[in-house]
A and B are shown apart, each in its own frame.
Chain A
């Protein structure tokens, strides 16, 4: 007993107990398991959709109008064009407004004023409002609001209304991301510019915005890739799946998520499978947009 004690005291570094090691291993294993579950379901989903959908992707599928009679002739042309239009219009709407709002909040707003704090809290909250609520908003205040008043859609839902609704939906995200990008420009750059006699406007326009453009562009693309998959608001503002003409800005429209939603609800299995094709196209567009975002971030991000 006495010998054993002296041996222990002589040891400088004690060996880890086997219990502690087991715990460590278990912890790592459980983390790996969680990761596996997440990746597995995503993988199964993508593989399953790809098996069904990829064979459907033919030039005809992309360029044909939908058909209710012949599934092999049915295409997603109006939905694809509608989605591209929606994204372009949505970007044209959210970039100037989102960036301007972010510039105001970062560069001009006095954070000690109650109304600025109120706006800030509200923007944070708006970013997490369910999209269906934005759909109702779009229906009540855009479709039956200015679009109706100006007589653009002659009382019916239009692509413009859909784009504005999606824009409102992702605007808070654009504002938040743009603010972060603007905040990343170090104060010393602003000071350097102002100390040379530049006005605040010149400083923002020539120093702050160029310094944050990569972050803003990345944020805008990521916001658009959220908007591209939104279905609920488009249903509410009246997008339709079955269209036999190309969409126009002031006319009725379709979009990829709507086409997917409609096809998935078909009773006939040969039409149901068209949903898989549309999903593959949607995912491809999404992947492309995210790649552009990553490219922009890596290529133009300013290291300070």
Chain B
């Protein structure tokens, strides 16, 4: 699989050309060079299983997520892709019955080691949710909340402006920063949530179906935004929309749900993980092919 990646890596993908016009220069190192890729693994999962009340929701997940790339998790409902995403910043800790086994390494550090504080994990790994969840405060306060609780130093006005610019929202809201965020449109709210997550300068951005509640135009804006942001954060996105995965992601992981006849519960499994183009044009697994061509799902 590694060799395949190296060969096809230089091929044109829509995402790359969209971000080529950015002022920030692309890194000199070709990220698709296998040796470089190995060094830049941001998450390294080994035999990860997440269970709710002892019943596994997703199991046996082993793969590396690459730094400064967009990784998409696709698959049918109930395949555990959101569950897996939420274990990358320990949001599953909020569900008392959830338990994670296996190894989740973040920059070679075990996220589930006993001495790791989930709060510290979430400071580095931001998250954007399915439904926009702005706080019932002003636009300004929404952005400033994260930097404040983290005790970030510096000019707060500047931090807010930078974050809103990163969220491609500054021009739309700069004259009404003090108004309540609930007055924004759904798409603006979701970009506010992205900007809010970026304000604390995270290393990774986890996005759990961020466009499922949005119209196509808002969705397009968020996709453009993701391609721009890839230069500074690694993005992991869960999506039901296969076109979206194809449009924005560099790597795609396909999950499938398996019905356990004996115990009558459904468990998700990762079927295939490869470069997005490979997954959509020439998948090695027949289940993946059936799903991406729309035969099942």
Contact = CB atoms under 8 A, between A and B. Distances in A.
Interface of A: 110, 112, 186, 188-199, 202, 206-207, 211, 302-304
B89 A195 contact: yes
Contact of A188 (B96, B126, B131): B131
Nearest to B93: A194
B135 A207 contact: yes
Interface residues of B, number: 26
B196 A196 contact: yes
Contact of A191 (B91, B126, B136, B150): B91
A202 B91 CA distance: 16
Interface in B199-230: 200
A12 B91 CA distance: 59
Given A110-B96, A202-B149, A206-B149, A196 B133 contact: no
Contacts of B193: 192
Contacts of B136: 189, 211, 302, 304
Q: Which of B91, B131, B135, B193 has the most CB of A within 10 A?
A: B135
Given A202-B149, A206-B149, A196 B91 contact: no
Nearest to B96: A110
Given A188-B131, A188-B133, A196 B200 contact: yes
B200 A192 contact: no
Nearest to A200: B119
A189 B132 CA distance: 10
Contacts of B120: 197
B146 interface: yes
Q: Which 3 A-B pairs have the closest CB atoms?
A: A197-B123, A196-B146, A188-B133
B262 to A, nearest CB: 27
Dominant secondary structure at the A interface: helix
B145 interface: yes
Contacts of B124: 197
Contact of A196 (B94, B131, B149): B149
A195 B127 CA distance: 6
Nearest to B196: A196
9 contacts: A191-B94, A191-B127, A191-B133, A195-B197, A196-B123, A197-B149, A199-B149, A207-B135, A304-B136
A190 B127 CA distance: 13
B162 to A, nearest CB: 16
A197 B135 contact: no
A23 B196 CA distance: 60
Nearest to B97: A112
A206 B91 contact: no
A177 to B, nearest CB: 20
Given A206-B145, A206-B149, A194 B122 contact: yes
Contacts of B126: 195-196
Interface in B119-143: 119-120, 122-124, 126-127, 129, 131, 133-136
B129 A199 contact: no
A189 B200 CA distance: 17
A189 B133 contact: yes
A188 B123 CA distance: 18
B94 to A, nearest CB: 7
A191 B120 CA distance: 15
Contacts of A302: 136
Contacts of A206: 145, 149
Given A110-B96, A206-B145, A206-B149, A195 B91 contact: yes
Given A190-B94, A194-B91, 9 more contacts: A191-B127, A191-B129, A192-B196, A193-B149, A195-B91, A195-B126, A196-B126, A197-B120, A198-B146
Nearest to A205: B149
A195 B200 CA distance: 11
A303 to B, nearest CB: 8
Given A199-B119, A202-B149, A194 B135 contact: no
Contacts of A191: 91, 94, 127, 129, 133
A188 to B, nearest CB: 4
Contacts of B149: 193, 196-199, 202, 206
B200 A197 contact: yes
A198 B94 CA distance: 13
Nearest to A197: B123
Q: Which of A110, A192, A207, A303 has the most CB of B within 10 A?
A: A192
A197 B150 contact: yes
Contacts of B135: 189, 192-193, 207
A206 B146 CA distance: 11
Contacts of B145: 193, 196, 198, 206
A195 B124 CA distance: 10
Given A189-B133, A202-B149, A194 B94 contact: yes
B131 A195 contact: no
A192 B195 CA distance: 12
A192 B122 contact: no
B129 A196 contact: no
A202 B135 CA distance: 14
Contacts of A186: 133
A233 B1 CA distance: 79
